[in-house]
Each structure stands twice: as structure tokens, then as C-alpha cells.
Amino acid sequence: MELWDAYDAHLNVIAGQVLVRGEKIPKGVYHLVSEVIVRHQDGTYLLTQRDSRKNLGGMWEASAGGSALQGESPLDCAKRELREETGIVTDDFVEVGRVLHQRHQTYYVNYLCHTDVDKDSIVLQEGETSAYKWVTAEELRQMSREELATQRIQNFIEELS
């Protein structure tokens, strides 16, 4: 069972309230998701392909990320998710935005990670991702809704370029 902290619309933890993955989130309550955009020192961005068994399977994501576990800060979540999904271990993170998604009852905290890792050293997480590739900002901007799972990330790429 995966436990999450409950947050208000200002990203404050709601004391005494715990959320359980898969259970309905009460109205006016949010869970935290950290997302990491990975930019290589050569200017390319890391994309990972969602495992075919997952929701939106086969689509590409321009971020690593996922739900924060109970007691985990947004940054700690970002570091853990990046390590789990790509094998990249770093402390080079810059927060680039926050998005409150009312319909999904999710508070997204987005980070940019700069890295100089060997581009062939990415380690995919079984059951989460099935492939990866490095693309230019222009290639990422040109990806369609049918290819890219999260269009929201394209907005951050626009701002970062």
C-alpha cells in the first residue's frame, strides 16, 4: 500500500490526513507529483517511453516523475523518481514551475535537471519505461499529442530554451 501526504491548494501538508494510492481523494485535497525534465550538457532532452501495460502506454514522456511518498519533499521525490526511472543520480535540480491540476487533484512540481551523464548509460525501470531517446528542444516542440503523454512539459521547454 502506497501512502501519500494530503495537500491543500497552496502545497501545505494537511496534518492528520493520509491518502492511499487508488483510493478516492476528498474534494479540495491534492496529492503531490514531482516531474523532472532532464537536459544534457549538449542541449538535448531525455525522453522515456511509457511501458505498454501502463495508461498511455507507448507514448513518450519528457519527464521522469511520480507521486511523492508520505513524508517526502517535492525535491526528494524528484531525486528518487529520476534515479528509479533513469538511473541518473544528481543534486543538480532547479524548480521551474508548479501546476495545480484541479480535475486530477494533483499538485505538480516541475524541476529541470542538468546532467553530463553518458547518454548511453540510462537504466530503464521495469514496468514503467520501455525505451529512451535524446532529442533537441525543436524536436520536442514538434512532437504531437499522439506521441507525447504530457503536453504541459512542452510549455516548460519553451520557457527554458
pLDDT in tens, 12-66: 999 999 999 999 999 999 999 999 999 999 999 999 988 878 777 678 888 888 9
pLDDT in tens, 102-158: 998 999 999 999 999 999 999 998 888 889 999 998 888 888 777 776 655 656 565
CATH number of 3-160: 3.90.79.10
The answer to whether the beta carbons of residues 49 and 149 sit under 8 Å apart is no
The answer to whether the beta carbons of residues 30 and 106 sit under 8 Å apart is yes
**At residue 32, what are phi and psi to the nearest 5 degrees?**
-100, 135
Separation between Cα atoms, residue 42 and residue 104, nearest integer Å: 35
Domain locations along the chain? 3-160
- pTM of the shown model: 0.87
Closest CA to 111 of 51, 59, 46: 46
* Per-residue pLDDT, 73: 97
The answer to whether the beta carbons of residues 134 and 46 sit under 8 Å apart is yes
